[in-house]
């Protein structure tokens, strides 16, 4: 028999099993939670502490060529937080874009066991894997960004859906990705010409396809392949007034199909212009709550400094004009 463990006195939160803040004992044997320990067990006193399932950060940016570039762009960020080497631990630096070992330690301290790197161009994934391997303690995975991939757009234009599916399968296997990410579908390609898409039916320059077609094609390919995660969507018109209408249109387009809406609060704004800017989060939340095919992460915003990492060029330019900040 392996190690036995009793966690006593903690406030337990386990939504999957309907436990909401109950003080109770948790027993672990051979790495699995059991009703009770059958023999001597190590005891951890968790009084005044929260006991919960390991956290899963389904959308983060911790390793990729983009993250490494962000570290280079923000030398001042390295000075804000230091981690000294200790027995069993390595040193590290960085506040908003910490180094690899620091990233693992910080996630573990917050109770996370799994983190998913949010967006990678397939050509840079080898480096991403090298960094993920360097992050200690937590399990890791990554998504590849295909929402404006040239081959995908060509195949959609030609109506060659089977090629879309086979290309997605080949990329997933070749770069060892977990799932498919879409960032501002069609809009990232449009940004090469200084433009963005305003609706799901705008045509993408030179390809004569629309964001709606891209959404449907990649969702179909994802489901046909039986991938474990739905398409992971950074929707169009992030951060702009009245974009909640685009978000609702997007979710309705994929009615009945699995969909993950990333950083949803950035896609939940109303108002005809910046002067009338307001939140439409209740409308988005109501739709998601009534459609079990949709999952979401909220896009947590905290006060203070940040380093934004995104493939969404149009949004990053708008953010620069709004904030006047460097990055």
Q: What is the pLDDT of residue 327?
A: 58
Q: Exposure pattern of 63-94 as b/e (b: 16+ CB <10 Å)? A: bbbbbbebbeebeebbeeeebeeeeeebebbb
Q: Side-chain half-sphere of 106: how many Cα atoms within 13 Å?
A: 19
Q: What is the pLDDT of residue 138?
A: 97
pLDDT at 1 over 60: no
Q: What are phi and psi of 115, to 5 degrees?
A: -135, 140
Q: Mean pLDDT, to the nearest integer, of 307-322?
A: 91
Give this prediction's pTM.
Answer: 0.91
Give the Å distances, CA to CA, from 245 to 80, 94, 319: 39, 37, 20
Q: Mean pLDDT, to the nearest integer, of 311-315?
A: 94
| Tens digits of residue pLDDT in 87-137 | 989 999 999 999 999 999 999 999 999 999 998 999 999 999 999 999 999
Q: Is 18 exposed, middle or buried (0-12, 13-18, 19+ CB in 10 A)?
A: exposed
Q: Mean pLDDT, to the nearest integer, of 282-300?
A: 95
pLDDT at 269 over 70: yes
Q: Which percentage of the chain shows pLDDT scores above 70? A: 99
Q: In the sheet that 19-23 helps form, which strands lie side by side, from edge to edge?
A: 19-23, 11-14, 50-51
> pLDDT: is 63 or 36 the higher one?
63
Distance CA(84)–CA(90), nearest Å, equals 7
| Tens digits of residue pLDDT in 180-204 | 999 999 999 999 999 999 999 999 9
Give the Å distances, CA to CA, from 49 to 14, 44, 55, 175: 14, 11, 15, 40
What pairs with residue 182 in β-bridges?
A: 233
| Tens digits of residue pLDDT in 216-256 | 999 999 999 999 999 999 999 999 999 999 999 999 999 99
């Amino acid at each position: 028999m392996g190690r036995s463990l009793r966690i006593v006195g903690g406030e337990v939160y386990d939504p999957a099993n309907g436990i909401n803040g109950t003080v109770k004992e948790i027993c672990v044997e051979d790495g699995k939670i059991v009703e009770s320990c059958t023999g001597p067990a190590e005891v951890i006193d968790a009084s005044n502490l929260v006991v919960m399932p390991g956290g899963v950060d389904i959308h983060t940016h911790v390793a990729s060529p983009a993250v490494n570039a962000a570290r280079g762009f923000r030398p001042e960020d390295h000075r804000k937080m230091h981690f000294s080497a200790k027995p069993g631990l390595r040193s590290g630096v960085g506040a908003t874009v910490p180094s690899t070992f620091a990233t693992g330690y910080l996630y573990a301290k917050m109770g996370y066991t799994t983190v998913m790197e949010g967006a990678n161009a397939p050509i840079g994934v080898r480096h991403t894997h090298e960094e993920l391997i360097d992050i200690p303690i937590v399990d890791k995975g990554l998504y590849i960004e295909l929402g404006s991939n040239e081959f995908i757009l060509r195949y959609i234009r030609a109506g060659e859906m089977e090629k879309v599916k086979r290309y997605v399968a080949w990329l997933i296997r070749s770069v060892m990705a977990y799932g498919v990410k879409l960032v501002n579908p069609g809009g990232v390609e449009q940004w090469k010409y200084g433009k963005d898409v305003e609706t799901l039916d705008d045509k993408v320059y030179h390809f004569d396809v629309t964001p709606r077609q891209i959404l449907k094609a990649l969702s179909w390919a994802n489901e046909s392949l039986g991938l474990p995660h739905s398409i992971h969507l950074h929707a169009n018109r992030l951060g702009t007034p009245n974009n909640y209408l685009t978000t609702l249109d997007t979710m309705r387009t994929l009615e009945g199909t699995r969909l993950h809406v990333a950083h949803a609060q950035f896609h939940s704004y109303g108002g005809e212009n910046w002067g009338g800017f307001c939140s439409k989060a209740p409308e988005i939340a109501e739709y998601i709550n009534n459609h079990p095919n949709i999952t979401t992460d909220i896009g947590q915003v905290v006060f203070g400094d940040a380093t934004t990492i995104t493939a969404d060029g149009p949004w990053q330019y708008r953010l620069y004009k709004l904030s006047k900040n460097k990055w």
